[in-house]
Structure 1
């Protein structure tokens, strides 16, 4: 089976479009569940961010936190980074290079999967943090400004999705190498200047990992023990800082735009109004920005659309409700990129086994063949796509409902969340429509 290289260098959302019937069923379930929650669900908050999880055996925490473990992971991180760099700069300068698969699949989608299972893993496998651990140098400047919040991370995430979805040549090895070098340079300088707080708040991949990890059952109790608990208790621990709505809007809006840009109507329109790669890139950039802005504006207005709160509380509501977008973002990411992760991920790992194209066979991986399990079973893929979108919607509605009960005055606890529920239904309908329309 051959792979088609499309706009973002690896394939498009049209790989496994969902049937129209599946989209209707998913939309009906989403709509029914949403209003059932508003009308019939619990009337007092059930989720508690301070509730401890079930602690794992103390030995697990000791092993994870052991100095030897941290140094082994640091060494493995730097070795893997050097291995990918070797492929990027000295490997085959064509479609056989492992870099695009590592960048667009293993890093972008695989990071979400790992963070859902293990927690914010980028804190452990970040090459910049690894270098900082080795040098042990304190910051040389002042502390990270609180007013910046997550805005640098939002800008970095937008830069990533721009390269993938709107740049003139997303699959270009020089373009990916340049992006990564700029990212490493900025992150290294920021870490030297502000310490690891820069990584925690400005590194787009670490913030992305933290966002995804808030839906993980794995967490730390107040005493530092690693524990397993209710993901909805953990979801509410997302730090509320300036720019958090922008981060989630970029993640959700970019995924929606990727599906939209694959529709025949957009492609035909783009062919009519653009006459060069540059003008096509400008059009896609405008579309990408528009989708992110629409998500941010609609969510902000819906969060603020309630009575019984003062102006200060109204301004704070979008940030305090932002965690409810995380399940929707993750559900749509997996619905959209599942084929990438399962099939293109295999390709990337196999190519990494021979980074220079010299016939190496590291760990016996180079002789393996890709299993196109989802492409060969489209009904399974379509069902999973709808399931991810609807499950993400349901989890988001539950989180928004519970937080509304905690934040809104009793007289406005039902009417105050209607706008938010309608917006979430709109996100879900649009997601299903775009997955079908692609």
Structure 2
């Protein structure tokens, strides 16, 4: 099914990005070059301060906010799961039977902004809710109850890691959402939901619940974003939920277990950057120049995405290997060990850019969804001018990079034998983060510069 979607994708290629705040223009309050230097300097000075003072912020054990008893937590989970399942079902039906206007159909208003992006923003704030929300897991659990046993025709191959989720994410989010007209078509959106559902349920029956943990592209995406959340929920032996606050870097210092997650994280960072870049005049110029040069037609956008993704992944692996060589002092280094350790520290960057880029898109469509389902019209973003939105993006992107620097410093201090070695091992990643800070701000400044 994923292969079918990949083959069909070029037929629906188009410039598809609905995450803008309008096309108005304004003058930046300070010169952009000064902004770039200031933001990059903030990230670099954070790393320098950590290196000079040898002071790493403590993780601590978190601060307990409340405890929800097992009965209440089960009731909440049941209501939320049923409600979300009904919403997905409604979107699936509306896409086929409703009016084929993107702004007036539940399929397009709910699926791409509220479900795909909105749940991601929720995960950044309080952790992934997907284990509760997932309609595929709900269907699988129902089948298991009917059979009276856990369904699994065979064991999930360990060598697969999360590669199915990587492929699914690149297809579903990287290409379908960002590089095709499908998100503007209710009927085609329903087709995507149906294919996604069939792939997930079939995989669950074949491999059991491990399939949902490792192969569900949105499930893995939300779980990774949830590592950054300042809110942590832990279920006790009695079934109660303990809700705590924690530093945002705490969940990003645990290494990954498989290289597929490294690629997933880098793909997440690149994809959200690419999505923002497609809104710019610079991208349009590049796209049409490449079309004319290569003669590939609409599929040129897919080629640009793939080339950029390969470049991002290769650069991260090279930087991690260089850092390991400097940190260990042997001039050799490896790629597997440091990438597994350092890739989670990039998550704050991915989360910050995702929130910065998508929060107006999510809020706007939440209100549109409310209007479609209840007839109540509200406008919570009427106050959000382009300058305010742009300023919020700058702050979020910069804060995300600072948190990432702190997380990477913690990992380096634990990985290398001495503080000096940790500084050397951390340095290449700091340079990369500073460079990406400037790139991110350049992308979001395009409506100003362009």
TM over 0.5: yes
Q: Who is 2:426 aligned against? A: 417
Deviates more, 1:252-261 or 1:27-36: 27-36
Q: Who is 1:105 aligned against? A: 113
Q: Is the 8 A contact 1:270 1:280 kept in 2?
A: no
For residues 256 and 329 of structure 1, do their structure 2 counterparts lie closer, same or farther at Cα, with a shift above 3 Å needed? same
Does structure 1 residue 140 correspond to structure 2 residue 152?
Answer: yes
> Which of 184, 191, 199 is residue 178 of structure 1 equivalent to?
191
Q: Equivalences for 1:18-417 in 2 at 5 Å?
A: 21=30, 23-41=32-50, 42-43=53-54, 46-48=57-59, 52-58=61-67, 60-63=68-71, 65-66=73-74, 68-95=75-102, 96-136=104-144, 137-160=149-172, 161-167=174-180, 169-221=182-234, 223=236, 225-228=241-244, 229-237=246-254, 239-272=256-289, 274=291, 279-306=296-323, 307=325, 308-309=327-328, 314-351=335-372, 353=373, 365-373=374-382, 375=384, 377-410=385-418, 411-417=420-426
Q: Is the 8 A contact 1:327 1:392 kept in 2?
A: yes
SS of the residue aligned with 1:108?
Answer: helix
Q: Is the 8 A contact 1:150 1:202 kept in 2?
A: yes
Q: Is the 8 A contact 1:167 1:281 kept in 2?
A: no
- Per-residue CA deviation, residues 89-133 of structure 1 (Å, 9 max, x unaligned), is 221122321222222211222112211233210110010111122
Distance apart, 1:17 and its partner CA: 7.2
Q: Determine the C-alpha separation between the residues in 1 that align with 2:380 and 2:111.
A: 20
Q: Is the 8 A contact 1:30 1:394 kept in 2?
A: no
Q: Determine the C-alpha separation between the residues in 2 that align with 1:399 and 1:138.
A: 39
Distance apart, 1:398 and its partner CA: 1.1
CA-based RMSD: 2.7
TM-score for the superposition, normalised by structure 1: 0.85
Distance apart, 1:432 and its partner CA: 0.7
Q: Determine the C-alpha separation between the residues in 2 that align with 1:101 and 1:405.
A: 46
Q: Is the 8 A contact 2:342 2:408 kept in 1?
A: yes
**Structure 1 unaligned spans of 5+:** 1-5, 354-364
Q: Determine the C-alpha separation between the residues in 2 that align with 1:231 and 1:286.
A: 35
Deviates more, 1:242-251 or 1:365-374: 365-374
Distance apart, 1:436 and its partner CA: 1.1
Q: Determine the C-alpha separation between the residues in 2 that align with 1:114 and 1:216.
A: 9
- Per-residue CA deviation, residues 146-184 of structure 1 (Å, 9 max, x unaligned), is 221121111111112201222255422333222221111
For residues 281 and 18 of structure 1, do their structure 2 counterparts lie closer, same or farther at Cα, with a shift above 3 Å needed? farther
Q: Determine the C-alpha separation between the residues in 2 that align with 1:61 and 1:140.
A: 32
Q: Determine the C-alpha separation between the residues in 2 that align with 1:421 and 1:343.
A: 35
Count, aligned residues: 414
For residues 383 and 11 of structure 1, do their structure 2 counterparts lie closer, same or farther at Cα, with a shift above 3 Å needed? closer
